[in-house]
Structure 1
């Protein structure tokens, strides 16, 4: 895929950090209008109590209203396994279209079986307003944006490029954080390396915004880097590390990692576009826990 990054278009990017899940959500404003996109929003859950709340989403909604912005898009970079999406909640308050990568259908098929969702659960991505394919263009106000398919962490991962800014989801972390795991169903360390190289083929000055940061070695939380910084300093792929070296490292490292604490509710909600499972006859909603199923 041949892409052109317009480094002269510099969207205003506001990050919102959620300490409960170490997630960064973004409001991305077209520099020449009041249009914006919201990327990777978070819905709060007290898993032990089975309680959903919206403090993080309400903070984003308040910011958008305060700035007088219009939401064109609510983007999910992938089906997150560590936090729940607030996209439908924000959409009801602010409008906009919800978009995710076309390979969401692969994720839905995989986890529809894991959670025994039955035939009533649609596995065609119809829960979303737009399914992005590799190279698709769309607009935020007058700003041309495009999607890059960057699988490896999950099959549906997409990087979204808006002017001189790219939102990489879990494809890359900050240089001292390296890369995300590739051992979820449908993940692949070799694919992840190839996707990282695709991101690093963008101009060095391209700003990169990541979805998670864990403050390695006690540093403060950060979420903005650049292609040039990642190529020079990323501990997993910088300094010209080969595909074979990366796959060996990633495979060994992933074997030592625990599953994310919110993986079970996150997958069930996020594969539905952020909606909760349907209510039963009494109006109650439930999340399933597959035994030895993940």
Structure 2
């Protein structure tokens, strides 16, 4: 379930009523809640929901113009020229990784059969997670009213291996290429997953982004293996706000709560930006 409220009409009492209404639904045993700086206190102090995990941020920097401008208070075009070789190197490494492994990121959409086959295997091996289907991808990233994204097919030698959804976001003058979601054939070798990350870094450099950025639940094995090195973890103190995962569970057995910590969760499931 997802909902968006016009900022002009947001009130604490409305949020409280929505949370209570969700907890009373009878067609589900578990409700996971993301949070922000406003709702965090409600989940912790009013509802006393247990925390089962947390979304973690990671990034790969490509430009320093925004950082220098923020510190110095003025444009930093000369500094950006000095680090241009770094961006060119990243573009070259990304291209080389794709050439060596055959990994390609393309705009062409997969067929229904290709998507269904890949997602079926992904559901079985990625651990507990939310809905992923062709209908979900089309609605969440293409047809939804807000927070859309570019969906790129991951292919090797023309064979569909998965997708990655990315969105360009500007925050305080910084241009981020954000990984919103992904799913792929879990038979991808480690070298192919590394090539995927390097290809995304190269794409970000080519599009002039300051950094490749992701927030996801790195306690999930599939996320940790796919979005690891060379992306660098970012401590919560450098983020807009931490994002603990709160749980409303009808059955509060401890082992069940622990299992929820590995839920596959990305920005497709909770919009942070």
What TM-score do you get using the length of structure 1 for normalisation?
0.28
What TM-score do you get using the length of structure 2 for normalisation?
0.29
Q: More helix by proportion, 1 or 2?
A: 2
Higher relative contact order (CA 8 A, sep 6+): 2
Higher Rg: 2
